Chain A
Amino acid sequence: MNFVKRMKENSALRQLLIFMSILGPGIITGSVDNDAGGITTYSVAGAVYGYRLLWTLIPSFIALLAVQEMNARMGIVTGKGLADLIRESFGVRITFYIFIFLLVADVGNTATEFAGVAGSMNIFGVSKYISVPLAAVAVWVLVLKGNYRFAEKVFLLFSVFLLSYVVSAIIAGPDWAVIGTALVTPTVQFDREYITTVLGIVGTTVAPWMQFYMQSAVIEKGLKISDYKYTLWDVVLGCIATIVVAFFIVVACAATLHVNGIKINEASDAAMALQPLAGALAGQLFAFGLFVASIFSAAILPLATAFYVCEAFGFEAGIDKKFSEAPQFYSLFTIIILIGAGIIMIPGAPLIAITIWTQVLNAILLPVVLVCMMIIVNNKEIMEEYTNNRLQNAIGWTTTVILILLSAFLLFSGVGVG
């Protein structure tokens, strides 16, 4: 009792306690952000361009921070999900097209996650015809029959394994002085492949579905505006976690694969290629990290997508409802997993094409979602006194405009290699 009393009197300790209790949305979103698609993109970027693309992580970080902060603020102030807000502000037509795109993109994203499961388990000698169906069933059962909140905590714990990339990178023995310079020296190259990779990095870091996820995580937590400053720290921590992991993936691949001129197409290729160069341990750690990230996102993505689509169109949704109460929700969830896992099961499936097209869809969708967000977050009727300040608007609009330009460049020059 004395201890509690002391705790209450010590303001620094108390603030830390409050912070711990509201910690979550930002960190979890940050961890989900490094999914199979992200790991693939960062690996390929490191293998093809070495350290030259490291600088993109800094603007990506700023954009990610700005976007997620807006989501957190919108969630706290309105208590409504992003899908709700888009539907109420822009009407059914725009919402319909956004969500058709989002649905298709997320089916592709889910397929990428299952590809990550297949690839990483392959390194441990498990065939994809065993690992993928098992993973799909496990995810389905876990989310629908298990305790999702509990599962989320387990996943969060597992995301510590993402730090295995740090170990992999250090084992690879990179040249830190070169890395330091590369991080702050932007290099720009106007060819299709380069732009595609840059767009891929930004697109996978600030993935469109993350915005929906972040906002509903904030609402789920029941945060109040007086919690805002702590939430801000949560968001910052989550963004740092995302970028740090991304940084080490790029470094690990650049220090080994790029130096030796090895080309890769998938994240599991990177794990495979790392083994002879940096030792079996580095490769296995890389593969394990990939597996954890893939399965984490393979569970969250279909669930989240089904949820937003239902939210936008007014169907009942939620894992606490019965099938008869929310048929659309459960059907969507199951279908997304089935198609996602099914695509990977097809012998000789065009995995690279799926990854690239998914990224292109993400990249088209992102500016659209961002424009919607910017309009909503500046609407006084919705946000009252919590609209964007000048700096937030400057970062938000700059990100949006750059993304639109990059996407436009990509679309008009044809689709490059991911």
Chain B
Amino acid sequence: MALEVVKFSYLSEFVNLPILRISDNKRIGKLVDLAATTMQVYPRVTGLLVRTHRSKPPIYIPWSNVKRMVFKEHIAVEYPAVGADQQAKAAENEILICKTFLDKQIISTEGYKIVRVNDLQLLIEDKAKESTNLWVVHIDIGFKGILRRIGILRPVNSAFRWVTDRDIKDEFVSWKYVQPTATSSVYASVQLKTDASKLSEIHPADLADILEDLGTDERIALIESLDNFTAAQTLQEMQFKNRLQIVESMEPVRLAPIINEMQMDEAVDLLDACDIQKRQAVYAVLTPEKVTELKELSTLSVYSVGSIMNTDFVSAKPIETAGTVVKRIIVECEKSEMYRYAYVLDEDERLLGVVSLRNLLISDANMLIADIMIEQAISVQIDTRIRRVARLFFKYNFEAIPVVDDDDKLQGIVSFRDALASVYPEIKEEDSV
């Protein structure tokens, strides 16, 4: 294949190029998009989408049919493809790079921010005489990309150089740090799953910020591509109104496992705000135990502590040793934030006492819980007013208070933070603006 020696090129320099038939140099159409496979580290171009007629959908020509490329002039292909063994159709996992990237938003996982794609930089790799590979290596997010697309880069850059004595700076994001927000395949009907592996390193709080800057469809696509636990964490970090928006547009089957991973109080708040059909649909997917638990919390009055309590807590028996309980806390704190205290319960789950993490750590691992626990722990009834609970926090300087029912059975705990947020809704409000 003959090709001018150009190492780097841009997508904008390929789009709209005339496509010629190699046998007679007759124009068969123009290039509208490039298909690429993302199986390797960088996407490799595998096919051309060529519009041959205004009203017809573009046709697919495999990259191996390209016989000649004249930079910024034309691309000559073998057409129609010869030999039955040649694949004349796109593979289902090929993405369209114009449609997926150009003018769309991507997440730069390097800077944890959303940027808009102005152009793509392609690397032309001349391996041997017969094969040339095109790789997508950088995403151009700079002003230079905009100027190049409009076709005024050269004059503007000359003017810029004349004034400042240097070129306009390139702004690239390496493919390694690019997370697309939507993916279109060659087949319009096939919705490719967004591969969110590059997002796993980002903290859920940052992910939530990123999601809030995206459009509705992109948000859902990204949330759905996360694993359930990360999705739950990310949802919890988002503003409530945005959380609700996402939840309302998700399929219950996909939503339920995420709800399942959320903290009980957050899950209840969210489900309570959904409309009834949605709530029922989610209940239908969850396990019956989980549903009972959720329902119990959600029917409570909005002013009592039961409505803000969390049912995730660490419990212990009086005859256990400090070491055993510490080990349990280590396991539990993976999914629960409530590990500052272990609550000591009798056989009937009645609250006997409480032991703080600090006490557990400074005690000998063989000590019995019964010997180090504080008996007559301060607790509140499930229907206690939140205001009163807030006063208790103020008085005793606890980080969490256990909540018991009429039978003195431990039902959950309420954290200082949740009580504060309920008493001063304005704090929560400001926090979420």
A260: Cβ under 8 A from any B Cβ: no
CA distance A77 to B219 in the complex (A): 12
* Chain A residues packing against B (C-beta within 8 Å): 1, 4, 77-80, 84, 87-88, 91-93, 95-96, 149, 221-222, 224-226, 313-314, 316
Q: Is the CB of B150 within 8 A of A84?
A: no
CA distance A84 to B217 in the complex (A): 13
Q: From residue B210, how far is it (CB to closest CB) to chain A in Å?
A: 12
B102 / chain A contacts, CB cutoff of 8 Å: 91
The residue that B242 contacts in the complex, of A78, A95, A222, A225, with Cβ under 8 A, is A222
Q: Is the CB of B146 within 8 A of A222?
A: no
Q: Which of chain A's residues has its CB closest to B102's CB? A: A91
Q: Is the CB of B115 within 8 A of A224?
A: no
B141 / chain A contacts, CB cutoff of 8 Å: 314
With contact pairs A313-B116, A314-B116, A314-B118 given, residues A88 and B104 touching in the complex (Cβ less than 8 Å): yes
Within 8 A of A (CB), among B107-154: 113, 115-118, 141, 143, 146, 149-150
CA distance A96 to B141 in the complex (A): 15
B372: Cβ under 8 A from any A Cβ: no
B187: Cβ under 8 A from any A Cβ: no
Q: From residue A329, how far is it (CB to closest CB) to chain B in Å?
A: 13
Q: Is the CB of B248 within 8 A of A224?
A: yes
The residue that A93 contacts in the complex, of B116, B149, B216, B275, with Cβ under 8 A, is B149
A221 / chain B contacts, CB cutoff of 8 Å: 241
A4 / chain B contacts, CB cutoff of 8 Å: 302
A92 / chain B contacts, CB cutoff of 8 Å: 103, 118, 146, 149-150
CA distance A91 to B118 in the complex (A): 9
Closest 7 CB pairs of A and B: A314-B116, A222-B241, A79-B216, A80-B215, A79-B215, A92-B149, A78-B215
Q: Is the CB of A224 within 8 A of B245?
A: yes
Q: From residue B45, how far is it (CB to closest CB) to chain A in Å?
A: 21
With contact pairs A93-B150, A224-B244, A314-B105 given, residues A87 and B116 touching in the complex (Cβ less than 8 Å): yes
B146 / chain A contacts, CB cutoff of 8 Å: 92, 96, 313
A93 / chain B contacts, CB cutoff of 8 Å: 149-150
Q: Is the CB of B104 within 8 A of A226?
A: no
CA distance A78 to B433 in the complex (A): 21
B303: Cβ under 8 A from any A Cβ: yes
Q: From residue A286, how far is it (CB to closest CB) to chain B in Å?
A: 36
B217 / chain A contacts, CB cutoff of 8 Å: 78-79
Q: From residue A91, how far is it (CB to closest CB) to chain B in Å?
A: 6
B275 / chain A contacts, CB cutoff of 8 Å: 226
Q: Is the CB of A87 within 8 A of B103?
A: yes
Binary CB contact string for chain B from 78 to 119 against chain A (1 if under 8 A, 0 otherwise):
000000000000000000000000111100000001011110
Q: From residue B77, how far is it (CB to closest CB) to chain A in Å?
A: 25
B214 / chain A contacts, CB cutoff of 8 Å: 79
The residue that B245 contacts in the complex, of A1, A80, A88, A222, with Cβ under 8 A, is A222
Q: From residue B201, how far is it (CB to closest CB) to chain A in Å?
A: 21
Binary CB contact string for chain B from 181 to 224 against chain A (1 if under 8 A, 0 otherwise):
00000000000000000000000000000000011110100000
